[in-house]
A and B are shown apart, each in its own frame.
Chain A
Amino acid sequence: MEPVIEVSNLCKTYNKVTAVDGISFNVEKGEIFGMVGPNGAGKTTTIECIEGLRQPDDGSVKLLGMHPWGARTTIAARVGIQLQESALPPRLRVTEAMDLFGSFYKRRADAGELLKTLGLEEKRNSAFGKLSGGQKQRLYIALALINRPEVVFFDELTTGLDPQARRSMWDLVKQIREQGCTVFLTTHYMEEAERLCDRVLIIDHGKIVALDTPEALIRSLEVENRLVFTIPDGRAIPRLDNLPQVRRVEWLGGRLVVYGCGERFASSVVNALEDAGVQFLDLRTEQPNLEDVFLSLTGQEMRE
Chain B
Amino acid sequence: MIEHQTLGSKIFDVINLIVLIVITLLCIIPLWYILCISLSNKTAVDAGIVSFWPVGFNLFSYERIMGEKAFFVSFWISIKRVVLGGIVGVGCILLVAYPLSKSIRQFPKRNLFMWILVFCMLFNGGTVPWYLTMKNYHLIDNIWGLVLAGSLPVFSVILVMNFFRNLPGALEEAAYVDGAGPWKTFFSIFIPLSKPVIATIVLFTIVGHWNEFFQGLVLSTKQANYPVQTYIQQMVVTTDFSTMNVEQIQQALKLNNKSLDAAKVFIAIIPILIIYPFLQKYFVTGITLGSVKE
Same complex: no
> Measuring CB to CB, which residues of chain B are less than 8 angstroms from any residue of chain A?
none
> Measuring CB to CB, which residues of chain A are less than 8 angstroms from any residue of chain B?
none
